[in-house]
Every structure is written in C-alpha cells, then in structure tokens.
C-alpha cells in the first residue's frame, strides 16, 4: 500500500505540530514545578482583574515583541480568558520552533469555575 506524499506529510505534521492541550487541573498541579512558566496572553486590564499566581502577562497583540523570550528548555503553559487567544499564541510559537507548549483548555474562566485562587 502506498501513501500519497501529501497525506504522509499531513500525518507527520499532525503528529508533531500539535500542542499538548491540558486542563486547569493539570496547570494547577504543574505549578508545583518551579521551572514551569505560565503565560497569560490577555490584555493588561484583564490580567489586573485576576490571574494565576506567578503568571506573566504577555498580551497576544504584542506577541511579535515577546515571543523570542519564551524559553525552549522549560514547560510553558499558555492561557487567556477561554482559549481562543492562547490557541493563536501557541500556533504562532510552534511556527517559531517551540515544542514544549501546553495550551490550557478553558483559560482563566475554567480556572475560576474550579474555584482555584487568583491573584490581583
């Protein structure tokens, strides 16, 4: 059986080019690791209303300014309000060669619905 080159490329890319989608429970557990970096891509105004303790605020609209500061040797968790902007950020970073990315499903809304603490 012969697989068409484009189909093989699509399968290969699909396997390697997918971020790890994690829950807020996974994020909460990961925070015990001091090497974990949490990036909140919401606006500064949204971030000020409440965020995950230790998260840094690098807004999606400024990604071209900060993307090169994301470490490639540490686990990185990216979230926003729900998951839309963080998915865009993850795809952008993957296009720049990042692989150790975790997309937080549901974002800060899911975090707060679990009654996990936020910092202001």
Q: What does the pLDDT read at residue 49?
A: 97
Percent of the chain with pLDDT over 70: 86
Strand order in the sheet with 101-104: 20-22, 101-104, 76-79, 37-40, 56-57
Q: What does the pLDDT read at residue 17?
A: 58
Q: What does the pLDDT read at residue 4?
A: 36
Catalytic residue (one of 80, 89, 93, 101): 80
Say whether 80 is catalytic. Answer: yes
Give the torsion sign (CA, 46, 48, 49, 52): positive
Across the strands, what pairs with 85? Answer: none
Q: What does the pLDDT read at residue 19?
A: 82
Q: Which two tokens stand for residue 32?
A: 């015990």
Q: What does the pLDDT read at residue 1?
A: 37
Under a CB-based contact definition with an 8 Å cutoff, are residues 38 and 118 in contact?
Answer: no
pLDDT tens profile 84-96 = 999 999 999 999 9
Which residues have C-beta within 8 Å of that of residue 23, sequence separation ≥ 6?
104, 105, 106, 110
Tell me the average pLDDT across 105-119: 97
Average pLDDT value over all residues in the chain: 89
Q: Which two tokens stand for residue 100?
A: 């150790």
End-to-end, the C-alpha distance of the chain in Å comes to 58
pLDDT tens profile 40-92 = 999 999 999 999 999 999 999 999 999 999 999 999 999 999 999 999 999 99
User: Quick one: DSSP state of residue 100?
Assistant: -
Q: What is the DSSP string of 56-68?
A: EE--GGGHHHHGG
């Amino acid at each position: 059986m012969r697989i068409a080159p484009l189909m093989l490329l699509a399968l290969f890319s699909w396997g390697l080019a997918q971020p790890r989608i994690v829950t807020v429970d996974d994020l909460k557990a990961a925070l015990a690791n001091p090497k974990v970096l949490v990036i909140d891509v919401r606006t500064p105004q949204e971030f000020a209303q409440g965020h995950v303790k230790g998260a840094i605020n690098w807004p999606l609209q400024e990604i071209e300014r900060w993307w090169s500061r994301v470490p490639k040797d540490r686990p990185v968790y990216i979230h926003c309000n729900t998951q839309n902007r963080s998915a865009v950020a993850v795809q952008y970073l993957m296009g720049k060669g990042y692989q150790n990315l975790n997309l937080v499903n549901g974002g800060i809304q899911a975090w707060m619905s679990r009654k996990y603490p936020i910092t202001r």
